[in-house]
């Protein structure tokens, strides 16, 4: 049986827009009906950090600015030349019912398969190695993607009544592959493993309006980013 997904390539976007679009896609997941794979980049160096983290601690461990609080958990993630993506899943899709550890591993096995098709050998971390508290890429968690023993892919999740949101980053960008090649490999891997058929996402006007509101009222505001 084929599994229908939607595909959105946003290109390089503003930090607040990136976080707003991901949250809006999660809110609109029941209306969109199908999971959405989104690729995006950053118009300026920035750093995102987990929803529950304290910004006073984040400010001491990175000089990157602006800082933006994600909807998802996890730690500090620097953004500049990294390959960033999100996956949103509606409650009606089987992936939504997975435990957090299962959806995390599935996401990273998908990435591992994509890299394998590009002749880039990776492995999933069997356990954890923490080096610097709060920084996602300073150590690694179980099922993170490793290349030559170093973490290159991590993710964070948020599950609400409207859907599941996974936000992830590939960094540093592995030599021997381009962003375009990796994105194509991701769609091909999903087609090969789960019979996924992708269709371009045409953003509903209401979703576009919601993104603008989230940019202006939330992700660009100190009241949100400095709330803890």
Give the per-residue pLDDT at 142: 83
Cα 221 from Cα 228, distance rounded (Å): 13
pLDDT at 130 (0 to 100): 60
Q: Which two tokens stand for residue 98?
A: 């997975």
Torsion of CA 96, 164, 80, 148, to 10 degrees: -30
For residue 174, the model assigns a pLDDT of 78
Instruction: Give helix 15-27 / helix 205-214 axis angle, nearest 10°.
Output: 130
- Residue 136: active-site member: yes
Residues 13, 128, 136, 188: which is the catalytic one?
136
Q: Rounded distance, CA 67 to CA 55, Å?
A: 8
What are the per-10-residue average pLDDT scores of the chain (228 residues)? 91 98 98 98 96 93 94 93 96 96 97 95 79 55 88 95 97 85 98 96 98 98 92
Q: What is the pLDDT of residue 172?
A: 74
3-222: CATH topology: BirA Bifunctional Protein; domain 2 (3.30.930)
Query: What residues does 166 pair with on adjacent strands?
Result: 87, 157
């Amino acid at each position: 049986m084929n599994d229908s997904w939607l595909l959105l390539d946003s290109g390089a976007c503003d930090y607040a827009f990136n976080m707003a679009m991901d949250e809006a896609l999660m809110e609109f997941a029941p209306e969109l009906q199908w999971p959405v794979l989104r690729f995006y980049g950053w118009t300026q160096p920035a750093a995102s950090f987990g929803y529950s983290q304290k910004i006073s601690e984040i400010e001491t461990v990175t000089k990157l600015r602006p800082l933006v609080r994600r909807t998802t958990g996890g730690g500090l993630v620097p953004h500049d030349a990294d390959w960033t993506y999100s996956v949103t899943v509606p409650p009606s899709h089987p992936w939504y019912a997975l435990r957090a550890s299962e959806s995390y591993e599935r996401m990273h096995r998908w990435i591992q398969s994509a890299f394998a098709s590009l002749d880039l050998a990776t492995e999933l971390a069997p356990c954890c190695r923490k080096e610097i508290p709060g920084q996602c890429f300073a150590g690694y968690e179980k099922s993170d993607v490793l290349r030559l023993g170093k973490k290159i892919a991590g993710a964070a999740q948020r599950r609400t009544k409207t859907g599941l949101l996974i936000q992830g980053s590939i960094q540093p960008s592995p030599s021997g592959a381009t962003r375009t090649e990796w994105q194509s490999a991701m769609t091909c891997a999903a087609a090969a493993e789960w019979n996924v058929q992708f269709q371009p996402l045409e953003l509903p006007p209401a979703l576009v309006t919601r993104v603008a509101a989230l940019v202006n009222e939330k992700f660009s505001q100190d009241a949100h980013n400095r709330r803890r």
